[in-house]
Structure 1
Amino acid sequence: MPTPRNTSKWTIIFVLGGPGAGKGTHCSRLAASYSIGHLSMGDILREEQEKPGSKWGELIRQNILEGVIGPPEMAVSLLEAAMTEQHEKEGVSVFLLDGFPRRIEHVELFESTIGPPAIVLFLDCPEDVMQDRLLKRAEMSRRVDDNIAIIRKRFKTFTQTTMPVIEHFRTQDKVVQMDATKVVDAVYRDIQVMMEEKLGNVLRIGQERDEQLD
């Protein structure tokens, strides 16, 4: 088994929650506030799908319709490439991984090739609230995964495959669970307090790096 290469250099935060829990919204705000990396597994897959000649394109297209992200080798390979690029171009060493890992197999491969997370942020939200949010988003977007049939498949996939990931990390005392039913600003404040408590020094390094570049 290969030795994790960046455990001491990169701080990794897995951000998990059902579809519509607010992962992307809060990750984007955190990334802007603290000058840290935000990588969305869903966005990475959609971008890869559109690349001419991508060996993963057709597989990703089918996986999106099924509400899954595909084999661990594909997910971890694409994610590692995106993290490395952001680190080399921007000097980022703290990463919010939005919507990853979604299966135990992803955890095993990611930790053996990249490293373990410092924190697993779980945005807890009931399905009825998430469904309402997604249907409202569907009115403004053209995402193929924002129709009711696929939304329900995604809920089922989350419960069956991603909740075991959260429970796995709960046994390691790495899960921080947030009530994601509150208004966006209230949830964000809760997350900020937690991040400052657990990763204050690491976050300040990122902010100082950006100040030096200005």
Structure 2
Amino acid sequence: MAKPRVVFVLGAPGSGKGTQCEKIVQHFGYTHLSAGDLLRQERNDPASEVGQLIHNYIKEGKIVPVEITCGLIEKAMVKSGKSKFLIDGFPRNHDNLSGWNEQMGEKAEVAFVLFVECPEEVCTERILKRGQSSGRTDDNIESLRKRFNTYTKETVPIVRHYDQLEKVRKINGGTGRTPDEVFEDVKQMFQ
């Protein structure tokens, strides 16, 4: 049986990763796995032993240990029974990348990284607006500053790593563009 095909979707918090993933799922039949959503689900599961640990990492704007995240991603991939995955918001740092290669390198093929570029001020505006109704504890200005700092220091180098492997496909998710306009660019990446 062929290895599952994985597309990592990376970009700053609020860049539109989740919105574009929804459209890719509808149009191309991928299964969307959000590392953040998987972690939040586990955190909210009262029976989960790692839930409190995850809660503390998220609250501090820190990256959850890779073994936990990879384990949740792998479990979700197997459970889905599907073969094409969008993994949104992962890998976020070199530890994530190393852990993925160690745990999943033989089990899945990374086709490419879809990188959603968006200016920080646009992302901030989107997240604060989303925070009014999302109920997410990290959709506030204090957590957001920490998340942007982490993104710049730790995730941007991952994009550079995949760029050196010629596996990055960049799209402009920013200023003055509707989600549908952005998706027109995204479609080209999946042809």
TM-score by length of 2: 0.93
Q: Deviations over 1:40-98 (max 9, x none)?
A: 011101100111231211111111112233111111111111111112xxxx1010001
- 1:4-15 to 2 correspondence within 5 Å? 8-15=2-9
How far, CA to CA, are the matches of 2:53 and 2:128 in structure 1? 25
How far, CA to CA, are the matches of 2:166 and 2:111 in structure 1? 10
Structure 2 gaps, min length 5: none
In angstroms, what is the RMSD of aligned CA positions? 1.2
- 1:156-195 to 2 correspondence within 5 Å? 156-181=149-174, 182-195=177-190
1:191 aligned partner, one-letter code: V
Counterpart in the other structure of 1:64: 58
Q: Give % identity.
A: 41
Shift of 1:113: 2.3
Shift of 1:111: 2.0
How far, CA to CA, are the matches of 1:82 and 1:69 in structure 2? 19
How far, CA to CA, are the matches of 1:75 and 1:134 in structure 2? 23
Shift of 1:107: 1.2
1:75 aligned partner, one-letter code: T
- 1:131-170 to 2 correspondence within 5 Å? 131-170=124-163
Shift of 1:33: 1.7
Q: Deviations over 1:93-134 (max 9, x none)?
A: 010001011011111221232234111011011110000001
The secondary structure found in structure 1 opposite 2:116 is strand
The secondary structure found in structure 1 opposite 2:190 is helix
Q: Which has the larger radius of gyration?
A: 1
* Residue 100 (structure 1) aligned with residue 95 (structure 2): no
How far, CA to CA, are the matches of 1:52 and 1:136 in structure 2? 29
Counterpart in the other structure of 2:100: 110
Query: Would you identify which runs of 4 or more consecutive aligned residues in structure 1 move more than 3 Å?
Result: none
How far, CA to CA, are the matches of 1:36 and 1:69 in structure 2? 25
* Residue 34 (structure 1) aligned with residue 28 (structure 2): yes
How far, CA to CA, are the matches of 1:177 and 1:59 in structure 2? 34
How far, CA to CA, are the matches of 2:48 and 2:63 in structure 1? 16
1:128 to 121, 128, 144: 121
Counterpart in the other structure of 2:12: 18
Counterpart in the other structure of 1:46: 40
Q: Which moved more, 1:148-157 or 1:68-77?
A: 68-77
1:101 aligned partner, one-letter code: P
